[in-house]
Structure 1
Amino acid sequence: MKRTYSLLSLSCLALFGSCSPDKAEKTPPNVIFILADDLGWMDLGCYGSSFYETPNLDQLAREGVRFTNAYAACPVSSPTRVSIQTGRYPGRVHVTDWIPGKYAYTKDLMQKICPVLPPDYNYNMPLEEVTIAEAMKEGGYKTIHVGKWHCCADSAYYPQDQGYDVNIGGCNMGSPRGDGYYFSPYNNPMLPDGPEGEYLTDRLGDECVKQIRENKDKPFFINMDFYQVHTPLMAKEEQIRYFQAKYDRMRLDTLKTFIEHPDYVDKQPFPAKLFKERIVQSNVVYAAMIASMDENIGKIIKELKDQGLYKNTIIMFMSDNGGLSTSEGSATSNLPLRGGKGHMYEGGIREPFIVYGPGVKGKGWVTDAVITSTDFYPTILEMTGLPAKPEQHLDGKSFASVLKGEEGFDRGSVFWHYPHYPNQGGRPSGAIRSGNYKLIEFYDNGEVELYDLSKDIGEKHDLAKEQPELANKLKVEFNQWCKDVNASMPTKNPAFHPSVD
């Protein structure tokens, strides 16, 4: 891991320290990057939810810009998180599944019944990667991580080993695993247990507020990663009661909650069971969890205002993958998007994304610019006036021009590579979005599907047979990208023998 800091860094620090409160316009902007876990595209009020309540995020959107075509680099957690930290596609870094992945627990079964077997991948984000934290630190920023990390399996790869001066709660845990899960005790090696009954989300919000207060006189970069709304679903009783009453008022019990996909069963690699997808947002505990996260984001914003830092702080809010809609309780609905976490359909990869702060022109506007999570690294560097590191974030493209209201941004094609079997019923697959068209290639049997997202956001009308030339063109481009990044592919399972009727 590189730990060298240039004379530029020292001069930046000297400059930052000389800025007085009445010269705030010369002070480099602070950055708070907020990442939710398993939050769906439709899970915020400003994105259309009528059941969940997110007043603070909705207000942030009214004061900044909201993206409708923002994507995570993977339909599951760890790869997306690595893409944010490195500015590189998961396929290039070879962290392509959540850590340690389903194969670690079901290897014997998968070797018997799956047509392809997943490739090996890195369980730790390599120390050789120059992370966004290292780049910000080199530029004179205090770097702080609060909350979930899940970019590693081993403790030698925690945030403090990847460029963060402060690490609060970041470890190898993909979800709360303490005796109290979302309530203390947390049994987290990087987060001391709180008093009995303390709620993890409140604790993380308080820790972020404390860091803002302690670092108010210097530029800071805070990577604020909530565990919300990952399972197990647990919330505070008073908020559960509130949403239960709302559930009753809205008569949500009268609506059909799930749709069934019997045609999908034959394509699943595991013993067949009816594939179901939630189509109504009605889970009261999930709603309460979202409310707690939003409440703590409000707490963070209030502290920025109290310290006179709000107008000079860039705030970005995103989710690491789509909402959980097809398994493990199916907590939310992503409609009109198809599928959810673990799927290559839009419900698994399209995310809510809001940006506020200096460098954002105007208030309350919406953009359909296509961006992905590899793009955050170069964008943050440009917005803070720090030099780009193109040799590092070579898969990212700055969208700072979009935030300025400029026309003509085109980041080019976006790619996904997920050669694994997820917990949620999806299949090993890859995808490319080029313009309005998206092609999905399934690695287990070579099938492709093609959709025009400008006309078919729900991916209901497969155009692969109607437009074979376009499908082949996108497949060729995708396959070339796989070669360019040296993506590890699944291999044919010699023990697999499809049943014959």
Structure 2
Amino acid sequence: MGLCSSTETQMSKPNILLIMADDLGIGDVGCYGNDTIRTPNIDRLSKEGVKLTQHISAAPLCSPSRAAFMTGRYPIRSGMDADSVYRILYWIGGSGGLPNNETTFAKILQKQGYTTGLIGKWHLGVNCESRNDHCHHPLTHGFDYYYGMPFSLINDCQAGKPSELGLAFRARFAYHTQLIFLAVFTLIIGKLIGLIPVGWKLICGSAFCGLLYFVSWYSSFGFVSYWNCLLMRNHEVTQQPMKVEGAAWLMQKEATSFIERNRNGPFLLMVSFLHVHTPLVTTKKFIGKSKHGLYGDNVEEMDSMIGSILDAIDKQGLRNNTLTYFTSDHGGFLEAQDGNAQLGGWNGIYKGGKGMGGWEGGIRVPGIFRWPGVLPANTVIDVPTSLMDIYPTVVHLGGGKLPQDRIIDGRDLMPLLQGKVTNSEHTFMFHYCGLYLHAVRWHQVEIGAIWKAHYVTPVFHPEGAGACYGRRLCSCYGDSVNHHNPPLLFDLASDPREDVPLSPDTEPQFKAVVSRIDRAVEEHRKTLAVVPLQFSQPNNIWKPWLQPCCGTFPFCFCDKEEGDPHATL
């Protein structure tokens, strides 16, 4: 059998292993330039495969980025972004989530005979109308098996940590509660003295709504560690509250077990780590092992877990028939600090970080593919690619077809990864912060330029710091941003740090470039449709009737997990 036919045989419905870190900065990985944190297993993937240096997330925060990854579409198309400060799903007991009319790559591969599994973080919703409808659950979106945390790791999950949800959120909720009760009180007084002609049914109904709102506010914050922080296996809650110290070991065990059970393939397995999101829960074995404090320890622990998963692939003899991919959902969290200790990641030379839709540090992430015998080893690709590209890539490899009734923004990467072409199909890429377009990238292939126009940039605190210290995250709009007309223009090919904006005096093509990008924005906006916003306040408020619960609500306590949570990773 010749080389070509052998490769074709390998490419016939390969196993697909997708590994996603949470909040990992591109500069945190050895093969991307870090020399203080040890990541030998991720580096080995790079040496044995293809490394992308301009791999871009469609959003700088968890929920919208993951929605784009799962659907191959900008999150604005599915309503998985927001025009407010609440740009992620805040409650597992909310009604927002990935809409059922979106078709994930898992759903397509499931129909092609793949056994599909998701281990780890989901953060794309659970319920819509009742506690058990699971309309947003991974099993509704094409996964045959799910084990992990349907929400996100937050400080509230670990005793003694400051609340992740923020005082501003609490204050706003309390303010609305007070307004409701004031309105009800005014109606009652007005009714009694005859100034407001309303019925008692309306007053009682308003009072009930106000009481429910207050109970929701008080209860959700009072018991958030029990209600948001839980583990599920398929549709069953197995641990509530989640014991964060043992979660990593349990998820690693589930990932290797899935590989063993499905070794005869084909399978699609997505391993979505809780690492390296704060509060940086790290087992004793890795505490103090890195040169970069607790954050470095957490990264090194994740790398070790990746090594165990790769060993499971090798043990089952699946290395040559498995496409392995590693990435992060967005850039590192610069504002995460404890005194002088940095608890968030490093984004290398790139400006900005998590939450920032335009600057490279928030959206440029690791992107590594390995497939021995099919993809070349030790190869670096420097052209723009997107996390959304995974969608058409794995659909193609699995023998499926892309949906024809919607726009798919991702592009099949296999020709680029195999060296059959030298450029990706991305001419323009649009960088959103919530629902606000902050920047646009134009790859002008004929001259080798990668233009980046910033229409909006965050106001850093302090000025020039590169982040919004003293705040949870940089904002997307209002007084917290600067608007630029004409936009700030950079050529990333020569200025990847985005240090020195170009001008008509320094760049002869300035006006022509900006004009072409402006036309691309107009064309792009014509493709957008109005859809329900999943992070709107009605969808993103805690609703007790939607709260997953192990037991009888509100007494949600159980531990159905077996094994030693302190076992060696």
TM-score normalized by the length of structure 2: 0.66
* Aligned twin of 1:333: 346
Q: In 2, distance between residues paired with 1:453 and 1:159? A: 37
- Which of 410, 420, 432 aligns to 1:406? It is 420
**Equivalent residue letter for 1:169:** G
Q: In 2, distance between residues paired with 1:212 and 1:176? A: 31
* Aligned twin of 2:125: 152
Q: Does residue 1:164 correspond to 2:211, yes or no?
A: no
**Equivalent residue letter for 1:461:** V
Q: In 1, distance between residues paired with 2:145 and 2:39? A: 29
**Equivalent residue letter for 2:265:** K
SS at match of 1:42: helix
In the TM superposition, residue 189 of structure 1 has moved relative to its aligned partner by 4.0
**Equivalent residue letter for 1:417:** Y
**Equivalent residue letter for 2:122:** W
Contact 1:64 1:355 in 2 (8 A): yes
Q: Does residue 1:454 correspond to 2:493, yes or no?
A: yes
Contact 2:388 2:409 in 1 (8 A): yes
Q: In 1, distance between residues paired with 2:146 and 2:511? A: 50
Contact 1:323 1:333 in 2 (8 A): yes
Q: In 2, distance between residues paired with 1:293 and 1:394? A: 32
- Which of 211, 217, 222 aligns to 2:258? It is 211
Q: In 2, distance between residues paired with 1:35 and 1:290? A: 13
List per-residue Cα deviations over 1:80-103 (Å, max 9, x = no partner): 100111111112112125999269
Q: Does residue 1:357 correspond to 2:371, yes or no?
A: yes
Change (3 A) 1:364 1:306: same
* Aligned twin of 2:524: 481
**Equivalent residue letter for 2:362:** G
* Aligned twin of 2:97: 124
Aligned residues: 407
Change (3 A) 1:56 1:213: same
* Aligned twin of 2:115: 142
SS at match of 2:383: strand
Change (3 A) 1:393 1:353: farther
**Equivalent residue letter for 2:377:** K
Q: In 1, distance between residues paired with 2:86 and 2:244? A: 31
CA RMSD across the alignment: 3.2
List per-residue Cα deviations over 1:202-252 (Å, max 9, x = no partner): 221111000011111231101110011111122123322222xxx3xxxxx
SS at match of 2:16: strand
In the TM superposition, residue 198 of structure 1 has moved relative to its aligned partner by 4.7
Q: In 2, distance between residues paired with 1:308 and 1:153? A: 36
SS at match of 1:156: coil
* Aligned twin of 1:18: none
**Equivalent residue letter for 2:286:** Q
Q: Does residue 1:472 correspond to 2:515, yes or no?
A: yes
- Which of 312, 316, 323 aligns to 2:321? It is 312
SS at match of 1:34: strand
Change (3 A) 1:180 1:134: farther
SS at match of 1:484: coil
Q: In 1, distance between residues paired with 2:388 and 2:95? A: 18
Q: In 2, distance between residues paired with 1:81 and 1:301? A: 23
- Which of 415, 418, 421 aligns to 2:433? It is 418
Contact 1:158 1:172 in 2 (8 A): no
Q: Does residue 1:433 correspond to 2:480, yes or no?
A: no
List per-residue Cα deviations over 1:370-391 (Å, max 9, x = no partner): 1112211111122334334354
Contact 2:81 2:87 in 1 (8 A): no
SS at match of 1:70: strand
* Aligned twin of 1:237: 284
Contact 1:99 1:150 in 2 (8 A): no
Q: In 2, distance between residues paired with 1:228 and 1:165? A: 24
Q: Which has the larger radius of gyration?
A: 2
Contact 1:438 1:452 in 2 (8 A): yes
Change (3 A) 1:76 1:65: same
Structural mapping, 1:42-441, within 5 Å: 42-97=27-82, 101=86, 123-152=96-125, 154=127, 155-173=134-152, 175=154, 177-178=156-157, 187-190=230-233, 192-193=238-239, 198-243=245-290, 247=291, 282=292, 284-329=293-338, 330=342, 331-343=344-356, 344-357=358-371, 360-392=374-406, 394-411=408-425, 412-419=427-434, 429-435=437-443, 436-441=450-455
Q: In 2, distance between residues paired with 1:27 and 1:406? A: 19
In the TM superposition, residue 309 of structure 1 has moved relative to its aligned partner by 1.0
Question: 346-355 or 373-382: which moved more?
Answer: 373-382
**Equivalent residue letter for 2:499:** K
SS at match of 2:289: helix
Change (3 A) 1:103 1:288: closer
**Equivalent residue letter for 1:36:** A
**Equivalent residue letter for 2:121:** K
In the TM superposition, residue 55 of structure 1 has moved relative to its aligned partner by 0.5
Q: In 1, distance between residues paired with 2:81 and 2:388? A: 14
Q: In 2, distance between residues paired with 1:294 and 1:318? A: 12
**Equivalent residue letter for 1:433:** R
SS at match of 2:275: coil
Contact 2:100 2:135 in 1 (8 A): no
SS at match of 1:455: coil
Structure 2 unmatched ranges of 5 or more? 1-7, 128-133, 162-224, 444-449, 457-476, 534-569
Question: 62-71 or 404-413: which moved more?
Answer: 404-413
Q: In 2, distance between residues paired with 1:304 and 1:481? A: 41
**Equivalent residue letter for 1:401:** P
* Aligned twin of 2:564: none
Q: In 2, distance between residues paired with 1:485 and 1:31? A: 31
Change (3 A) 1:26 1:49: closer
Contact 1:464 1:471 in 2 (8 A): no
In the TM superposition, residue 471 of structure 1 has moved relative to its aligned partner by 2.1
In the TM superposition, residue 359 of structure 1 has moved relative to its aligned partner by 7.1
**Equivalent residue letter for 1:342:** G
Q: In 1, distance between residues paired with 2:27 and 2:430? A: 22
Q: In 1, distance between residues paired with 2:328 and 2:453? A: 23
Q: In 1, distance between residues paired with 2:394 and 2:46? A: 18
Contact 1:359 1:403 in 2 (8 A): no
* Aligned twin of 2:446: none
List per-residue Cα deviations over 1:231-274 (Å, max 9, x = no partner): 1122123322222xxx3xxxxxxxxxxxxxxxxxxxxxxxxxxx
Change (3 A) 1:322 1:158: same
**Equivalent residue letter for 2:267:** F
* Aligned twin of 1:36: 21
Contact 2:89 2:123 in 1 (8 A): no
SS at match of 2:44: helix
Contact 1:32 1:316 in 2 (8 A): yes
Q: In 2, distance between residues paired with 1:328 and 1:122? A: 31
Q: In 2, distance between residues paired with 1:485 and 1:359? A: 40
